[in-house]
Amino acid sequence: MDTNNFAFRHIGIGEKDIPSMLEAIQVQSLDELIEKTIPGNIRLKSLLDLPAPMTERELGEHIADLASKNEVFTSYIGRGWYDTVVPPVVQRNILENPVWYTSYTPYQAEVSQGRLEALFNFQTVISDLTGLPLSNCSLLDEATAGAEAVLLLQNERSRPKAKAGANKVLVDKNIFDSTIDVIRTRALPQGIEVVVDDYTNFEFAEDVFGVILQYPNARGEVIDYSALVSKAHEADVKVAVAADLMSLVMLTPPGEWGADVVFGTAQRFGTPMYFGGPSAGYMSCRMEYKRTIPGRIIGLSKDRNGRPAYRLALQTREQHIKRERATSNICTAQALLATMSGFYAAYHGPEGLKQIARRIHSLASVAAEELKKLGLKIRYANFFDTLFVELPEGVSQADIRQIAEDCRVNFYYTPCGNVMMSIDETTLSGDIGVILYIFASALGKESTFNGGIDETVVSVDKQFLRKSGFLTNDVFNRYHTETEMMRYMKRLERKDISLTHSMISLGSCTMKLNAASEVIPLSNPAFCNIHPYAPKDQVEGTMEMLENLMKYLGVITGLPAVSLQPNSGAAGEYAGLRTIRAYHDARGNTERTKVILPASAHGTNPASAAQCGYEPVIVKSDENGNVDINDFMSKTEEYKNQIAAMMITYPSTHGIFETNILDLCKRIHECGGFVYMDGANMNAQVGLTNPGFIGADVCHLNLHKTFAIPHGGGGPGSGPICATEELAPYMPTHRNWEGELPDDHNVVAASPYGSAGVDVVSYAYIRLLGAEGLMQATKIAILNANYMMSKFKDTYGIVYTGATGRVGHELILDCRYLKDRSGVDENDISKRLMDYGYHAPTLSFPVHGTLMIEPTESESKEELDRFCDVMLKIWDEIQEVKEGKADKEDNVLKNAPHPQYEVAADEWSHSYPRSKAAFPMGFLNDNKFWINVARVDNGYGDRNLVPTYTCCTITPSEN
Ligand SMILES: *Cc1c(COP(=O)(O)O)cnc(C)c1O
């Protein structure tokens, strides 16, 4: 036992635990278990070639060393990223608080009321500021939100437009390059023609279905688009507008001048720039689009007793149900960042936000006046925070840049030879002095700026000023002191189950430890406060870290070409398929349009295939849960020359290492297709086998599952893709900050390295564990699943076991026959687990009527045993119902969860005592998680969707 070795801290099972676990599963050694679980022909023969593990202390020093290689300049680059002040109360209580960052996506509403309310706050902020009634609770970033907006407009075409085959979207040339690039990438496979032009040239012909504008535009100009919007609407064309959230505090929001959709990023609402991500993308729209708006929506609903309760609404339109007919493939989004932005708005309130926006605007206005005094021309008179400075004859960008960099300042240098700057919340009057010094020096003049800033200056034309109020609800007007805000956050936090309470055994989601030393770098200013377009020589530390990470991921997957750009697993799926498509397109293989998909695939797989313009061909599972080989052979024969790819998860979503995986890959290659491996189950592979070795050509990794990035209540995620050298030339690219872009570009995120900011967590994870630790983690994950199987095989029963009677790193409990015999179903079991302080396993995926458990390597034997004891106790409770010892309706399962208000009420009318409801096992006396709502009514919210405070009269719950 070496307590300095991080593996000892990360892996929950110690040497002393292993013998009894091996005995329970009846093998002699851990290696024997692995040999019996993973087919011999795919097992790696040697250790991964990775650096030796660091201790946590060494990692801390290494991170400090990397940080010291970054140069944090004052950024006025703008273009979607602005420096911001993360309120310390938000940093300490949300970003750095494991209750908030380790919780799962709030599918189990009763133990997620805190983050549901926080995200409901975010939706209200977006809806109020943009002036449209419906908002989702985050998207990945501004550029992908733009692409989603185009697809939404296409889906919402009027009947005549759809009939006429309208396929053109007109995009104003003055929107951010990254947004245009992602729109192009995503529109192409949908047959959408993207026409980029000056908006003044727009003609609304019959084949045009949508218009995309930006406000203020990419050059900082505020333009009155209302006449254009009316014209578009008259021609039955819909309008989506990218908008800067901070500007909407001051300017009339697009929803009020007719926009149908508004999208953008909430980054400057209190989340760091993080070298490009993560931060919360947003989208709001008309209420009519509620079935096509992508992403998740929180609705205010009711619990079974009629008390207000939040829950995810409109789940039926998600890809889990709709699969290839889903309007979007987005699954993991940016929950933690949206939560932070919502609290930022609540902390400042409407008056505080007005003060911030006004100060930004007045500082920019003063800077503009003073620059004019130096003889410079500011091209656009109407701006919010961004100045377009024309350089006179004789002064070059290089002149300005040299002085600016000497002053540790970054501007945006336009391709047309001018200079732009965006003022932000952190700018002080002294900073304006530095800006003026830079320009004055380049001109050989002296600025007369005396440092005085009149914060009431409004230079933008009065016609643009916002008249409507916003954030009028109580929640935005009472938590302005730190004490009040801290307590509000704590009140919400207490309603949520996270990894700080108990194991979260969600199959396929890999809710493992997110170690403190891995997440601490997320607060390091040398990583946080870096703009994604900062010059390369200022980001050497970050680049060294990212390049090493890419190298390690290449080694771990056996696929050497790596792109970190995708912001989530589903974004990775799309990026991987897009890479395959680009390869086929380059060879004129346009007939290859089919994607072979096992029936058990995650919903994002068929949705991503459809987004890429591909048609899924579904292959059945056999009775053992494997790919049905006869069906597979006949489908691959039938579509032989049309196969673009197969998408496969390994071990399968049934948790089994299929033995014929090599043959499946070989067959697809024979047909001329590529193998795409969904990397969600990498936690069963790392160090023991890998996608490249198995024969995959490209895979994505969910760094927020296998590689320890915290789940954040539904994001951030990071979904890099790894591919063979053959596919490398077709991987995602990005316009680098000089504005160059290869011709066959393939851009899937706003920033070059996607969610670069959180990738440091995975980097730290790999450095801390090293090759041996990573392999041991995989072995223990498999040990734990097989140990749990031994506990449940004689009660619930296991749906699928592999050829040797083993499971991989997860197991599926059968609950399908319970209902007939007792009336109890898998949902009742999930709710009853809450009374015991546990979050439910994965419900009804990939097999309906089951629970899928993935223990991960991080749990201790004691915790595994406690969870098993609870599940077995629930089994006994089910038997009581079945045997008639408990009432068919009024029993602890059907009434679960039992909220505090019910247990403590004067009246108690159930057929069993309070103690049985709330304290059914002894350990609960020491560690009770109190639930504050009864079972949430799943029908209520969808019929009467309430997505923001503004469209109803409720005040947030006080309990
Ligand atoms: C989680 C998961 C995905 C999607 O990943 P996101 O990051 O949520 O987009 C895809 N496939 C499988 C099997 C998964 O478990």
Using one digit for the tens of pLDDT, what is the confidence trace for 416-444?
999 999 999 999 999 999 999 999 999 99
pLDDT bin (cut points 50, 70, 90) of residue 539 is very high
Gap between the terminal Cα atoms of the chain:
46
Residue closest by Cα to atom 2 of ligand 1: 680
Question: CA-based angle 939:942:943, to the nearest 5?
Answer: 85
User: Which residue in the block uniquely carries the two structure tokens 């109580």?
Assistant: 474
**Residue nearest to ligand 1 atom 14, measured at CA:** 680
How many Cβ atoms from other residues are within 10 Å of residue 328's Cβ?
27
Which pLDDT band, with edges at 50, 70 and 90, does 176 fall under? Answer: very high
State whether the beta carbon of 566 lies less than 6 angstroms from ligand 1: no
Nearest-atom number in ligand 1 for the CA of 571 is: 9
pLDDT tens-digit profile of 215-233? 999 999 999 999 999 999 9
- Name the residue with the closest Cα to ligand 1, atom 11: 602
Instruction: Work out the average pLDDT over 280-297.
Output: 96
The residue among 314, 279, 311, 310 whose CA lies nearest residue 295 is: 314
Q: Where are the domains positioned within the chain?
A: 6-58+539-771, 121-271+278-307, 781-943
CB 446 within 8 A of CB 440: yes
Tokens encoding 300: 């205010």
Q: Packing angle between helix 177-187 and helix 142-155, nearest 10 degrees?
A: 40
pLDDT per residue as tens digits for the range 312-322 = 998 878 888 89
Confirm or reject CATH 3.40.640.10 for domain 121-271+278-307, answering yes or no: yes
Reported as a single tens digit per residue, the pLDDT across 91-105 is: 999 999 999 999 999
680 lines ligand 1 (CB under 6 A): yes
3 state DSSP class of 467: coil
Same fold flag, 6-58+539-771 and 781-943? no
Residue 329 CA: nearest ligand 1 atom is 9
| Interatomic CA distance for residues 246 and 345, integer angstroms | 11
The protein residue with its alpha carbon nearest to ligand 1, atom 3, reads 569
Distance CA 233, CA 828 (A): 49
Distance 704 CA to ligand 1 centre (A): 10
User: What's the rounded mean pLDDT across residues 249-270?
Assistant: 98
How confident is the model at residue 480, as a pLDDT?
98
Atom 7 of ligand 1, nearest CA residue: 569
CA 302 to chain centre: 27
778-803 pLDDT per residue, tens: 999 999 999 999 999 999 999 999 88
What's the pLDDT at 943?
82
Nearest to 374 by CA among 305, 444, 454: 444
**Ligand 1 atom nearest residue 649's Cα:** 13
The backbone torsions φ and ψ at residue 296, rounded to the nearest 5 degrees and listed phi first, read -95, 150
For ligand 1, mutation pick of 138, 330, 573, 602 (most atoms within 8 Å of CB)? 602
The best mutation among 702, 706, 755, 847 to test binding of ligand 1, ranked by most ligand atoms within 8 Å of the C-beta, falls on: 702
608 lines ligand 1 (CB under 6 A): no
Ligand 1 near 604 CB (within 6 A): yes
- Our mutation pick for probing the ligand 1 site, out of 144, 148, 319, 604, counting the most ligand atoms within 8 A of Cβ, is 604
CATH class of this structure's domain 6-58+539-771: alpha beta
Which residue's C-alpha comes closest to atom 8 of ligand 1? 332
pLDDT at 272 over 50: yes
3-state secondary structure of 65: helix
Q: Is 456 exposed, middle or buried (0-12, 13-18, 19+ CB in 10 A)?
A: exposed
CA of 76 to the centre of ligand 1 (A): 36
Confidence of residue 741 (pLDDT cuts 50, 70, 90): low
Cα 680 to ligand 1 centre (Å): 6
- 360-369 residue pLDDT tens: 999 999 999 9
Beta bridge partners of 310: 300
Q: Is the pLDDT of residue 958 over 70?
A: no
Residues contacting residue 929 through CB under 8 Å, at least 6 positions apart: 111, 497, 501, 502, 834, 837
Quick check: CB of 702 below 6 Å from ligand 1?
Answer: yes
From CA 776, how far away is CA 753, in angstroms rounded? 30
Q: Give the fold, CATH level 3, of 781-943.
A: Aspartate Aminotransferase, domain 1 (3.90.1150)
- Measured in residues, the chain has a length of 959
User: How many whole angstroms from 373 Cα to the centroid of ligand 1?
Assistant: 56
- Relative to the CA of 653, which ligand 1 atom is closest? 13
